[in-house]
């Protein structure tokens, strides 16, 4: 497993970003895509249909996405994770402290709800008061799954030994890693 300051072993074009809710996966994935010049597809947009119903074409869409020569997406959804890992060259793991991710998650959720920001396929964040009544409210989900990747990523390295994994433990490390990636791309790897 590589750290923020380690050089990537080779040029990459197929990248996954892993982390708990609120870690900044989607934001980082978009930045990586822009640096590499490959499309970023937000995997939530493939999964969630109207009224938060899972889309029946989700796995077909993931298969199609990952057959391309270059792409960036988030490493989410148990059914998709093996296929994503099999076809990726690099996984960037945002393993930030719980206070960082939870504060980001709460701020993002409140902002989205108050602004009524449309997410995927017409969906909006649930009303804030449902955090107390809905066990799957995104804030409760974030808390319940806050340590999930501590088991998943090490197993991933074992099951997909050709996949390079970079573990970033703080937002500052993530920024440094992005700067290094930009430098690598600019200098021709």
120-171 pLDDT, tens digit each: 999 999 999 999 999 999 999 999 999 999 999 999 989 999 999 999 999 9
Q: Cα separation of 174 and 155, whole Å? A: 22
- The per-residue pLDDT for range 14-29, each reduced to its tens digit, is 999 999 999 999 999 9
The sheet that has 90-94: what strands, in order across it? 71-74, 14-19, 90-94, 164-168
User: Left if phi > 0, otherwise alpha if psi is -120 to 50, otherwise beta: which for 100?
Assistant: alpha
Closest CA relative to residue 76, chosen from 16, 122, 31, 120: 16
| Residue 121 DSSP code | T
| pTM, two decimal places | 0.95
- Angle between the 171-186 and 25-36 helix axes, to the nearest 10 degrees? 10
């Amino acid at each position: 497993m590589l750290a923020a300051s380690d050089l990537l072993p080779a040029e990459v074009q197929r990248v996954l970003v892993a982390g708990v809710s609120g870690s900044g996966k989607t934001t980082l994935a978009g930045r990586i895509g822009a640096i590499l010049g490959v499309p970023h597809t937000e995997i939530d947009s493939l999964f969630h249909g109207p009224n938060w119903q899972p889309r029946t074409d989700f796995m077909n869409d993931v298969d199609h996405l990952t057959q391309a020569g270059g792409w960036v997406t988030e490493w989410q959804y148990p059914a998709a994770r093996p296929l994503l890992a099999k076809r990726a060259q690099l996984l960037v793991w945002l393993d930030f402290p719980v206070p960082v991710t939870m504060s980001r998650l709460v701020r993002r959720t409140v902002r989205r709800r108050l602004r009524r920001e449309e997410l995927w396929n017409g969906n909006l964040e649930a009303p804030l008061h449902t955090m107390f009544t809905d066990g799957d409210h995104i804030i409760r989900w974030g808390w319940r799954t806050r340590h999930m990747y501590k088991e998943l990523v090490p197993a991933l390295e074992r099951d997909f030994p050709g996949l390079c994994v970079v573990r970033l433990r703080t937002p500052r490390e993530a920024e440094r890693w992005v700067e290094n990636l930009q430098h690598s791309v600019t200098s021709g790897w």
